[in-house]
Amino acid sequence: MCGIAGWFDRELDIRSQEKIIGEMSDSMYSRGPDEGGVFLDRDIAMIHRRLAVIDIEKGSQPMVRKRGEETYVIVYNGEIYNSPELREELSSLGYSFGSECDTETVLLSYIHWGEDCIQKLSGIFAFAVYECKSKKIFLARDRAGVKPLFYYQYKEGIIFSSQIQTILKNPLIPHHVTEDGLYELFFLGPGRTPGSGVVKNISELRPGEYAVYSEGRLIKKAYFSLKAREFEYDSKKTIKLIREVVTDSITRQLVSDVPLFCFLSGGLDSSIISLVASEHFRERGERLVTYSVDYKDNDIYFRKNEFQPTPDSEFIGIMTDHISSEHKNIVLDNYDLFTALTSACEARGLPGMTDVDSSLLLFCREIKKRHTVGLSGECADELFAGYPWYHRPEFLRSDSFPWSPTLDIRRSLLKKDILPRGEEYVHEKYLDTCRCTDRLSTDSPLEARRREMFALNYYWFMQTLLEEKDIKEKLSFFITPDNPVGNYNFQIRQGRRSVCAYTP
């Protein structure tokens, strides 16, 4: 996990704005504590904070390459899973590499294919490339929206970053929230409308979107969206295909120059990942380390529900015995969860997922004592229809976001006549997603509704979980009585995703 930012202004000499650039960089320290770099020219600052995972010595950024008359500068955050194949193809086209890092793969891909490079990349990423001669900026975000990329456009230029807080460090930007921003916070939060940055005039590239900024204009293009297609395989071939894709996805993420582990909850997703990873480690003569989390007195207070019918602990032991992992069970205290709520909210930068945020933060703190990179099965339920609302008729028939069927509690927090359009605002966002869902003419009403449910989960619920994982790395100061300044930063890779929790 890294942090990227940039500031382009046609009128201002940005070289004279060292203090602001330094503050922008410092605000991303938790995303990249290992190294920081800035590329400066009269009208551009490209800023990078690095968490070093692969090719620690040669992967510094911003990375600069010259080709013909043009000089290209990149700041990049992500992982490219088909990097070996792309490097081989680019080498055959006459390009040479000076490192093993993905950054160079992405930069040379852009130099050769231009905007079309985005179709060649398989992975999770947010990056910006600046062309010094043409003064053009290319911004891109991965298909699933794992890596964040926000921007603020104004008359003379554009400011972008991995996080809203960094953009707000620039004094050009007023700290205002519009009425729509309040609807986002009070009625949709912790979710956000795709593309919304909540703060006035701050936007976010949507999943599967890229943009080109040139001559004062920002042109955005969608290069990926969910499409409905006929499914042609029988069950036997389907099982074989899914096994191959999932195994390949996991294996490609077991590349790291720093210690790597797996989260293990006992569920299907984390169990499959841990199994594949353990076999890979065993082939190298190593033993996989797994971690799970539990809560003090959970055996007394656990109550089954639709999302968790049984405690995790019943299945974790079965898996650790089967894969022979070195397992660590971390038990969290409920009081500590409470005291971490404020810190977790500060890390997100916006109101978040309460105890879910604080528990992940504390869990990651303990893991960081030994490990830097982890694999998680987060968001498998969104992709493989694991939630009740994919199957239960009462959810499928409802005319609202299935995870938030009523807004009564939210409404009760506000005085009468405050934000009067809240319910209408949420319902319209819900309908927008349903209307845009791709369908087949042969779909039955049930099949069409399930496509809508998948789109709602992909563009809303899954994005919230991805953001929740991503922001944990932003917490610079986690305060406890015995740890006045806690520094935690590591990378969590999940499915075809990657995120972090905080830093030193």
Residue from 327, 300, 24 nearest 172 by CA: 24
Catalytic residue among 2, 262, 345, 379: 2
Residue from 85, 116, 57, 144 nearest 499 by CA: 144
The verdict on whether 2 is a catalytic residue reads: yes
Tokens 């916070």 label which residue?
Answer: 185
Q: CA 154 to CA 467: how far, in whole Å?
A: 26
Beta bridge partners of 154: 157
Contact 211, 150 (CB under 8 A): no
Q: Tokens in use for 306?
A: 């639709």
Q: CA 326 to CA 338: how far, in whole Å?
A: 30
**DSSP strand pairing (217-222 vs 326-332):** unpaired
Which helix (H) or strand (E) segment holds residue 139: the answer is: strand 136-141
What is the Cα Rg of the chain in Å? 23
Q: CA 202 to CA 163: how far, in whole Å?
A: 10
Long-range pairs for 268-272 at CB < 8 Å and ≥24 separation? Answer: 268/377, 268/380, 268/386, 269/377, 269/378, 269/380, 269/381, 269/384, 270/376, 270/377, 271/315, 271/319, 272/246, 272/377
Tokens 């940055």 label which residue?
Answer: 197
Q: Which residues are catalytic?
A: 2
